[in-house]
Amino acid sequence: MDKDRKYPVRESAPPKPRRVYKAVGVGQGEGGAYTVLLDGKTALTPSRASLASTSHPLAEAVAAEWNAQDPHVDPETMPLTRLLATQIDRIAPQREGVIASLLTYVDADTLCFRAQHPTDLRERQQRQWQPALDWLEREHGIALVSTEGLMPPKQAPDTSLRIRRSLEQLNDTQLTAFQAAASLASSLALSFALIHRHLSAADVFTAAFLDELYQVEKWGEDELARDRRQRIAGDLQAIERYLDLSA
C-alpha cells in the first residue's frame, strides 16, 4: 500500500443540538394566532419569526413534534414544523418567486413522459396517470400533453398562464403543501390532485414512483433506493396531514 497516498476524509454529519427546554405548550398570541412555546417562550423559525399558525390543531401537532425530541432535536423527525416554518419564512413573503419556480415543472411533469416499451409499463402508465391528467383538464382547465420517449412534450402556449392563475388562487398553506409535493413527485398534476384532495398521499406516491416500482418488480429491490422512497412516502403523508390540520 502506498503510504504517501492521501484519501479523502468522510465528513460526519454535524451534531444535533441537545434538547435544552423542558416544557412545550401552545399559546394564543397577537391576531389570534396559536404560537408554539418552549418553556413559555415563543419558538422561532430559522428566520427568527414566531412559529405560529392560525390553526390550533396544527399548532398542537407542531408542539407535539417538539415535545417528542429527546435527547436531541432532529429536524428530520419534525415534518410539520418544517412545513410551517417554510410557509412563514419563504412562501408567505415570496409567493411570486415560488410560483415562478413551480412553473419550471410545466415541461417536466412526470406524468407527461410515457414509455415506448415494454407494453405492460406503457399500459400501466396510461391506466394510472391519464385519469389525473383528465381530472386536471376537466376541473381546472389545464391540459398537459404527454409524449413517449425522453424528449419533452410541447405544451400549449397558454398552459403556463393557466397554471399560474390556479397557483395564485391557493392560500399560503396550500401553496406550501403544493411546492413541497411538487419537489417530491416532480409533478404539477399530482400536486394539484393532492392539494384539492382528488388523490391521497399514498396515491400520489404510487403514481410518482410508478416507473421505479415497476423496475423493482422486474429486477429486485435496492436498499438505498427503498429507504429513499420510504422517506418520500412519509413526507407526502406529512403534507397531507398538514393540509388536514390546517383546514
Q: What is the pLDDT of residues 57-88, one digit of tens each?
A: 999 999 999 999 999 999 999 999 999 999 99
Rounded Cα gap, residues 111 and 136, in angstroms? 12
Rounded Cα gap, residues 19 and 21, in angstroms? 6
pTM assigned to the model: 0.91
Q: Which residues are within 8 A (CB) of 52 and not within 5 positions of it... i.e. 6 or more apart?
A: 29, 33, 34, 35, 36, 42, 59, 88
**3-class secondary structure, 241:** helix
245 confidence band (pLDDT: 50, 70, 90) = very high
CB 236 within 8 A of CB 205: yes
Q: Which domains are assigned to the chain?
A: 24-78 (3.30.2180.10), 95-246 (1.10.3580.10)
The three cell numbers of residue 34 are 396559536
Percent of the chain topping pLDDT 90: 86
Q: How many CA atoms lie within 13 A of 151 on its CB side?
A: 5
Q: Which of 10-24, 34-48, 115-129 has the lowest mean pLDDT?
A: 10-24
Rounded Cα gap, residues 195 and 198, in angstroms? 8
Percent of the chain topping pLDDT 70: 95
Backbone angles phi, psi at 114, to 5 degrees: -100, 145
Mean pLDDT value across residues 101-109:
94
55 confidence band (pLDDT: 50, 70, 90) = very high
15 confidence band (pLDDT: 50, 70, 90) = confident
Please tell me the predicted confidence (pLDDT) of residue 12: 57
Is the pLDDT score of 5 beyond 50? Answer: no
Mean pLDDT value across residues 101-108:
94
Rounded Cα gap, residues 26 and 34, in angstroms? 6
